[in-house]
Amino acid sequence: MTERVITCPACGTRNRLPPAQPGRKAVCGKCKAPLPADGGPVEVTDATFTSEVERSNIPVLLDLWADWCGPCHILAPTVDQLAKEMADRVKVGKLNIDENPDTANRFGIRSIPTLLVLKSGKEVDRLVGVQPKQEILRRLENVLKS
């Protein structure tokens, strides 16, 4: 049994979790906010943008995508991997632009997939199109160092 360390997206506290158990939801030991069950991306909507992104104590990698977008589906496995690998340092979210046009318009999204790197809800980097995992990691590391 291996434990996982997940950073709470709401308060930034690092939580040590036992292996996932069916029917049991993980919550932060400090603020009791729900934790991502598998360390995967969090679904972000126009309604949850403030709580999920702007109030996050760690940087957020936000994947803006649409179901009809072929390149978005090509990038999705990379985004899922990054969510699991960087769960203790970066929060990864996915926002469907067709279902959440307000946030897409707010950031002037004209092409997808677009990856936004945000700190306190403010854009600090942007990658447009399918990107190699190493390039995304490099850009995230630059943000984490600053």
Active site residues: 69, 72
Instruction: Give the pair of three-digit tokens for residue 111.
Output: 């092409």
